[in-house]
Amino acid sequence: MTPLLELQAIDHVFADGSTGLRSCSLALARGRRHALLGANGAGKTTLLQHLNGLLRPSAGRLLLDGRPVDYRRAGLADLRRRVGLVFQNPDRQLFSAQVEEDVSFGPLNLGLDAATVRARVAAALDAVGMREYAQRPVHHLSFGQKKRVCIAGVLAMEPEVLLLDEPMAGLDAPMQAELAQLLDSLAARGVTVLLSTHDIDFAYGWADDLHLMVAGRCIASGPAPAVVAQAGLLHASGQRLPLALALHAHLVARGVLPCGAAPRTVEAVLDALPVVPIHSQQGNPI
Ligand SMILES: Nc1ncnc2c1ncn2[C@@H]1O[C@H](COP(=O)(O)OP(=O)(O)OP(=O)(O)O)[C@@H](O)[C@H]1O
Ligand SMILES: [Mg+2]
C-alpha cells in the first residue's frame, strides 16, 4: 500500500552550511502510531519540519499519497491542512493573546463558518483538558498548559497526519498518560501519528512502528519489536534496550518466565510473573 507520507533521499543543508538531513528516507504507513528516536542533533526536528513543508529539501523529494508535494502556495496549504505539526517549544507556536483565539486561528484560515470553528475549538480544547482555560491569556499559562493548547490548535485542523516534536517533554505524568490515550484514540480513528521522543521505554510501549535516526539519516524503520531486535542499529542511534525487554530477558535466563514474545511494558512483564508466596527462613509465609 502507498505510504501516506514519504521522504525519499532528502538532503537538507541550512543557510549556514550545516547539514540537517543527508539522504534521509522514511515512509509513514497510514493509521499507525510512529515514534522517531535519535540522539540530540540526529535530525528529528529537521525531519518533522520537512514532513509538513516548513522546511524544503535541498535534494530529494516528499510524497503525499504517492505524489510529489507541490511547494507553491496552494500545494503547501493543502499539505499543512492534512499534516499538522506540534512544535517542541510552545512559545514558538502560540502567537495569539488568548487561548480560544489561538486555537481558532487554523480553522478560521480554512474558511470554515463560525459555528463549525466554535465546535472544533471546543472539541479540541476538551480533548486536551483545557476547555476551562478558553478565555485565559496565553502568557498566563504554564509550560505544560501551553503545550496542550498547541496540541489543541493542531487538532482543531482535523489533520490526517499529526506530527509532534517531543510532546511528552515537560508534561507531568498524568498528562503524559492522558496524551498517550488521546493519541491512541486519534490513531484508532485513522489519524497517522508520528512523535519524536528520547524515551525508548515509552516509544516501545506505545508505538506500532519505530524509526531510528543517526546523523541526519533514518537507519531503521519498522514494527517496534523488529526494530529493537537489531541491537547494533539501536546502539548506533544512542538508544538502550527498552527496560521491558531487558527485564524479560533476565527473567527468562533465570527460568522465572518461559521463553516467548516479550511484553512491551515493564508493567506487562510484572503481570506475567508467577505468583509465589514469600517464605520466611523458618518456611512460614510472611
Ligand atoms: N536553523 C539551523 N541552522 C543551522 N543548523 C541547524 C539548524 N537547525 C538545526 N541545525 C543542525 O541540524 C542538525 C539536526 O538538528 P535537529 O534539531 O533536527 O536535531 P534533533 O534530533 O531534533 O535534536 P534534539 O534531540 O536535540 O531536539 C544538528 O546538527 C543541528 O545543529
Ligand atoms: Mg529536536
pLDDT of residue 283 exceeding 60, the answer is no
Nearest atom of ligand 1 to the alpha carbon of 198: 25
The residue nearest atom 25 of ligand 1, judged by CA position, is 40
Cα-to-centroid distance, 165 and ligand 2 (Å): 7
- List the one residue out of 178, 102, 176, 179 whose CA is nearest residue 139: 102
Same domain, yes or no: 26 and 80 = yes
In this prediction, residue 286 has a pLDDT band, given cuts at 50, 70 and 90, of low
Q: Examine the domain organization and report whether 58 and 182 are in the same domain.
A: yes
> Within this chain, do residues 248 and 219 fall inside the same structural domain, yes or no?
no
User: Which grid cell is 193?
Assistant: 501519528
Nearest CA to ligand 1 atom 13: 20
Report which protein residue has its CA nearest ligand 1's atom 11. 20
236 and 267 inside one domain: no
The secondary element (H helix, E strand) that includes residue 106 is helix 99-109
Specify the pLDDT at position 1: 82
Residue 282 placed within a domain? no
Q: Give the number of the atom of ligand 1 that is nearest the alpha carbon of residue 20.
A: 12
Residue 284 to residue 286: CA distance in whole angstroms: 6
Question: Cβ distance 44 to 215 under 8 Å?
Answer: no
Give pLDDT tens digits for 51-98.
999 999 999 999 999 999 999 999 999 999 999 999 999 988 898 899
Count the neighbouring beta carbons within 10 Å of the beta carbon of residue 135.
9
Domain that holds residue 224: 5-241
101 and 178 inside one domain: yes
Residue 191 Rama label (left phi>0; alpha psi -120 to 50; beta): beta
Structure confidence at residue 178 (pLDDT): 86
Distances (CA, A) of 247 to 207, 260, 262, 268, 275: 19, 13, 9, 11, 17
Position 138 scores a pLDDT of 94
Instruction: Quote the number of domains for the chain.
Output: 2
Q: Are residues 220 and 267 in the same domain?
A: no
Residue 42 lies in a domain: yes
Q: Are residues 41 and 171 in the same domain?
A: yes
Please give the number of the atom of ligand 1 that sits closest to the Cα of 49: 18
- Distance, CA 257 to ligand 1 centroid (Å)? 43
Assess if residue 281 is contained within a domain.
no
Note the pLDDT tens digit of each residue in 201-250: 999 999 999 999 999 999 999 999 999 999 999 999 999 999 999 999 99
Asked if residue 65 and residue 142 are part of one domain, the reply reads: yes
97 within domain boundaries: yes
Would residue 284 count as lying in a domain?
Answer: no
- Residues 75 and 167 occupy one common structural domain: yes
pLDDT in tens, 166-198: 999 888 888 888 889 989 989 998 999 999 999
**Ligand 1 geometric centre to CA of 247 (Å):** 33
Mutate to test the pocket of ligand 1, among 18, 19, 26 (most ligand atoms within 8 A of CB): 18
90 and 219 together in one domain: yes
Distance between Cα 282 and ligand 1 center (Å):
61
- Ligand 1, CB within 6 Å, residue ranges: 14, 16, 18, 20, 38, 40-46
- Shared domain check, 133 and 172: yes
**Which pLDDT score is estimated for 175?**
83
Please report the pLDDT score of residue 110 as a whole number: 87
* Residue 129 counted as domain residue: yes
Same domain, 13 and 62: yes
Is 89 contained in some domain?
yes
Q: What is the mean pLDDT of the chain?
A: 93
Dist. CA 217 → ligand 2 center (Å):
14
pTM: 0.93
Residue-level pLDDT at 144: 87
Can you give the pLDDT at residue 281? 56
| Nearest protein CA to atom 12 of ligand 1, as residue | 20
Tell me, rounded to whole angstroms, the distance of Cα 112 from its chain centroid. 28
Any domain includes 203 = yes
Name the burial class of residue 32, with classes exposed (0-12), middle (13-18) and buried (19+) by CB atoms within 10 angstroms of its CB. Answer: middle
CATH of the domain at 233: 3.40.50.300
